[in-house]
Amino acid sequence: MVEKDCNMDKLENNEIEAKKSKTKMKGNFFNEWIVPIFAAVAIAFLINKFLVYNVYIPSESMVPTLNIGDKLFVTRIYNLDKIHRGDIIVFYSDELHETVIKRAIGLPGDHIEVKDGVVSVNGEELKEDYVKNKDYSSETNGTFDVPEGKYFFLGDNRPRSNDARRWINPYIDSSDIKGKAEVKFWPLKDFEMLK
């Protein structure tokens, strides 16, 4: 009888150990897989929402700097003082009703003159090595005075770019600026930091 009780105790202990082991395995699975996956998804969401996101280039307005199908990493802009002339900026255009990517040419208070393919800012001709296709059309000539809190943008492919020279309201409000293009990551062969 004592031996039988001993065997029963061993059996019960084995069952208890097996249950503990199963519970521990479930806890390990949860801690080793579910928690890290959830954390990674949450971190990716927060990074995308507040720091970095990617964009796809749908048009040829920025050729040759950016081509149709290129994909970029863009950092969100929280301090507008960090925008410099020549930066490639993503912004929302109320006039076009879409998010657009162009190069910042005019900052608040700038006087801009576009004449026969040459852009001058505050009386000084811009050195635009990134522009390979100049637009000599007289219909895109003009003089622009950028108001405070506004920005003036042009595409690099001037003859094909629907940009500030052609818009009814050529200025973009600072509240519509979303981010700055930093890295072209697709296609992989064209991977580069953007200037």
Which active-site residues does the annotation give? 61, 102
Return d(Cα 91, Cα 23) in angstroms, integer.
Answer: 52
The region that residue 27 occupies, defined by phi over 0 for left and psi between -120 and 50 for alpha, beta otherwise, is: alpha
Return d(Cα 110, Cα 74) in angstroms, integer.
Answer: 25
Which tokens hold the place of 12? 């019960």
User: How distant, in Å, are the alpha carbons of 148, 161, 167, 172 from that of 93?
Assistant: 17, 14, 10, 7
Return d(Cα 107, Cα 79) in angstroms, integer.
Answer: 14
Return d(Cα 113, Cα 110) in angstroms, integer.
Answer: 10
Q: Which residue has the tokens 């992989």?
A: 188
Q: Please tell me whether residue 124 adopts helix, strand or coil conformation.
A: strand
